[in-house]
Structure 1
Amino acid sequence: MLLSLFTVLLWGQQKETQEQLERRKQQILIEIKSVQQLLQNERTKERNILAEIEEQNRKINLSRQLIKNVQQQITITNASIKKNQKEADELQAELYKLKEDYAATILKTYKSRSNQSRIMFILSSDNFLQAYKRIQYLKQYADFRKEQGQEVKAKSEELSKALVRLEEQRESQKKLLAEQQQNEKNLQKDLDQQKGLMAIVQKDQKKYNDQIKKKQDETKAIDRKIQQLIREAIEEANRKAREAAAKAGKETTKSVGSGKNATFELTPEGKIVANSFKANMGKLPWPVEKGYISLPYGDQPHPVQTHLTIHNSGVEITTEGGSKARSVFQGEVLQVQVMPGGNKAVLIQHGDYITVYQNLSEVYVKKGDAVALKQSIGTIAANSTGKTVLKFLLSHNTDINNPQLWLSRSN
């Protein structure tokens, strides 16, 4: 019984893992389709090699994730096939033994099928108690024979189901193997295309390095501006909070530090919002309805010139043209600012946390507005390469956090 229970639990865990892998696979396929569409859009416009390489890199990474995902599914399916094959073999052996025993019982019953012999068996008893026991024995023997027949039937049905399940898994394995071969072909095709694009870059190394450096300088300037805006927003919010508290005769939490180390002076209500925001770490919705992270947080090799290291203070999410940015949590608009290059940024306060939404061509909110969860706050602009990219930042007071740790795994 314990072994059976363990087998059921193990099968349940494998099934859950298989379902999780399948969900992730479908998500990867959606992302690949999105990247492919963006690549085709790039090719219909004036060609931008750097943008194409970045998208091609993303597609290659997704293809590798897809291959790994299918490999994991194949491994789980193989283990399940082995388990079910062993179960089918054991059932086959049990059924063979049951049939043997049942055949022996039927033969024995056939030999003693005469009603007269049964009556004589009872009447030859030494006393009434022995006769009663013999009657009970005959009855139990008949019941036993019936149970044997039912057990043979049940075991036969169980074996049939196990064999059907085994065949289904073998078919699933064939499909997965075929899918894996196709994925590997697609990956090789992507790698060949990427090789051709990189060859173009290598021919005019200086031109593309200058483009990369210019973009990095622009990014650093915007990051400095955002840091300045965050500090100014905290100082202004604290000033307003002190004024409001003074009028109401209440106290605020005293700030610790200023400038680069400025912190919000929270009211009791502000503390509740901050705690609620913190409790949703890893569960916040994405700031776009559809999209994928095209440039993650932190230091990393440049997607084109891998010998260059770049820093990203937030995450860049590539989405469809005309997409809207949306608030990841309820809060209050701290700032709406025009950034270098002409696009806008919106800063939203959530207690002592701030979320920043950059690269907006149009903004639907203004300073002081209360915003709700998933409320649209602006239209995302196309960047210099023609892609629609939202840069999303998250800070705790002035400390920049990794937004990927706060967002849910899927949008």
Structure 2
Amino acid sequence: MWSQTTDKQRNLERKKEQILTEIKAVQQLLKTEKTKERNVLSEIQDQNHKIKLSQDLIRNGQQQIALINRDVEKNQAEVAVLEKELKALKEDYAKTIVKSYKSRSSQSRIMFVLSSENFAQAYKRVQYMKQYANYRKKQGDEVREKSDALAVVIKSLEEKKVRQNVLLREAEVQKKNLEAERTKQQGLMALIQKDQRKYNDQIKKKRTETAAIDKQIQQLIREAIAEANRKAREAREAAAKAAGKKTGEKVVESSKGSNTAVFELTPEGKVVANSFKANQGRLPWPVSKGYISLRYGDQPHPVQKHLTIHNSGVEISTVVGTRARSVFQGEVLQVQVLSGNNKAVLIQHGDYITVYQNLSDVYVKKGDKVTLKQEIGVVNTNASGQTVLKFLLSHNTTIHNPQSWLSGSN
């Protein structure tokens, strides 16, 4: 039980450090945005995330305090039991000492032995005195052990109370910070309310652009699958022709068209696909730092809750100059300019494809073999100072929630 409590405490401490690191990252992003052209919508979105992190931090502190409270109660009960046992041992030991004091004379002990009626009785009396001396020693040892145990528990109790007070003070600071963040958020929302139409138009425009890019990505995936299958089929036919020349057999060329929905995998491709699938939930993030600012799927807009948006992947906010990296070994299928500085890299992993959008510079080209965590490009930073990577994952043409594939992001 003690081990489980300690493990829970350690896990909470680790989670607390992660939250604090993420809060620091969001704070850095907010500062960057304020030095650029102000984008109220993105500022509110980051502020929302910071508020959520502050709430998580408060909950984390409450859980730690609850654990410590249980430990304190347990220690207090243990102290009460030990004090009671120690008191009884001391009283018993005191009686033994008094009795021993009264018969402390060595002459009395000798006379006690010599007054025996026979040798057997004398032997028994000598053994009794030895046992009595051992009993006294054992009592003394027990008193010392109980005293030491009590001192350890009291010290542990005092340390827990100190930690408890630290956490309570931290909780007060966190609550004040949360109130300050909410006040900032209300000010930002007031700006939105002043020009509701303008911001709604911005959101709708972004939604339309996103839908168009999603459609473009889907088309790129289908084209990439068709091209990969065509090349694989040509390679097989070339190999068959070469084999036919050696044996004199006639080879009939396939007239089958390229399937745009499913990869026709080689045995090696199947191994890569199985390995990729086996790493679901353990893939590294496509950037070294950042947080998920927009999750996968249909959801209320983070600012205008009455508007629903669809996200085909996850958007990860990070810092200026961050490089995107491959989440698994594979081969570059496509490098495509989607719009302006929004370049996309598609990487094949068997019959899985990972897509890295919103890159300003790209370090790889079509056909390149990439390794795990290899840098493939720089994430674009817009005029408002936002640096956001959009990451998608598909199995053939079926889009999956990439968040469930990334390590520590559930």
TM-score by length of 2: 0.92
**Aligned equivalent of 2:5:** 14
**Aligned equivalent of 2:195:** 204
**Aligned equivalent of 2:348:** 349
Give the direction of change, closer, same or farther, for the CA distance of 1:132–1:270 in structure 2 (3 Å limit): farther
**Aligned equivalent of 1:4:** none
Does the residue aligned with 1:145 lie in a helix, a strand or coil?
helix
- Number of paired residues? 395
User: 1:280, CA displacement in angstroms?
Assistant: 1.2
Does the residue aligned with 1:58 lie in a helix, a strand or coil?
helix
Does the residue aligned with 2:378 lie in a helix, a strand or coil?
strand
Does the residue aligned with 2:339 lie in a helix, a strand or coil?
coil
Counterparts in 2 of 1:127-166, with a 5 A limit?
A: 127-166=118-157
Give the direction of change, closer, same or farther, for the CA distance of 1:385–1:224 in structure 2 (3 Å limit): farther
Select the structure with the greater relative contact order (CA < 8 A; seq sep ≥ 6). Answer: 2
**Aligned equivalent of 1:229:** 220
For each residue in 1:338-362, what CA deviation from the matched residue of structure 2 results, as whole angstroms up to 9, or x when unmatched?
A: 1133421111111111111100000
1:61 matched to 2:60? The reply is no
- 334-343 or 66-75: bigger deviation: 334-343
**Aligned equivalent of 2:250:** none
- Distance in 2 (CA, whole Å) between partners of 1:258 and 1:17 is 51
Letter in 1 for 2:114: L
User: 1:284, CA displacement in angstroms?
Assistant: 0.9
Give the direction of change, closer, same or farther, for the CA distance of 1:248–1:156 in structure 2 (3 Å limit): farther
For each residue in 1:121-167, what CA deviation from the matched residue of structure 2 results, as whole angstroms up to 9, or x when unmatched?
A: 33344443343333222212211211211121121111111111111
Contact persistence 2:284–2:373 (CA under 8 A): yes
**Aligned equivalent of 2:363:** 364
- Distance in 2 (CA, whole Å) between partners of 1:128 and 1:353 is 95
- Distance in 1 (CA, whole Å) between partners of 2:376 and 2:136 is 77
**Aligned equivalent of 1:320:** 319
- 58-67 or 227-236: bigger deviation: 227-236
User: 1:247, CA displacement in angstroms?
Assistant: 4.0
Counterparts in 2 of 1:62-211, with a 5 A limit?
A: 62-211=53-202
- Distance in 1 (CA, whole Å) between partners of 2:309 and 2:409 is 25
1:329 matched to 2:328? The reply is yes
1:27 matched to 2:25? The reply is no
Contact persistence 2:37–2:384 (CA under 8 A): no
User: 1:117, CA displacement in angstroms?
Assistant: 2.6
Give the direction of change, closer, same or farther, for the CA distance of 1:258–1:130 in structure 2 (3 Å limit): farther
Does the residue aligned with 1:339 lie in a helix, a strand or coil?
strand
**Aligned equivalent of 2:204:** 213
Contact persistence 2:341–2:380 (CA under 8 A): no
Letter in 2 for 1:348: I
Letter in 2 for 1:80: D
- Distance in 2 (CA, whole Å) between partners of 1:98 and 1:246 is 93
- Distance in 1 (CA, whole Å) between partners of 2:237 and 2:66 is 66
User: 1:274, CA displacement in angstroms?
Assistant: 1.3
User: 1:194, CA displacement in angstroms?
Assistant: 0.8
Larger Rg: 2
User: 1:326, CA displacement in angstroms?
Assistant: 0.5
TM-score by length of 1: 0.92
For each residue in 1:72-96, what CA deviation from the matched residue of structure 2 results, as whole angstroms up to 9, or x when unmatched?
A: 1111111111111111111111111
In structure 1, runs of 5+ residues without a counterpart are 1-9
**Aligned equivalent of 2:249:** none
Give the direction of change, closer, same or farther, for the CA distance of 1:340–1:105 in structure 2 (3 Å limit): same
- Distance in 2 (CA, whole Å) between partners of 1:228 and 1:144 is 89
User: 1:384, CA displacement in angstroms?
Assistant: 5.8
**Aligned equivalent of 1:52:** 43
Give the direction of change, closer, same or farther, for the CA distance of 1:410–1:121 in structure 2 (3 Å limit): farther
Query: What's the RMSD between the two structures over aligned residues?
Result: 1.9
Does the residue aligned with 1:164 lie in a helix, a strand or coil?
helix
Does the residue aligned with 1:91 lie in a helix, a strand or coil?
helix
Letter in 1 for 2:206: K
Letter in 2 for 1:91: L
- 118-127 or 352-361: bigger deviation: 118-127
Letter in 2 for 1:284: L
User: 1:298, CA displacement in angstroms?
Assistant: 1.4
Contact persistence 2:37–2:383 (CA under 8 A): no
Letter in 1 for 2:400: N
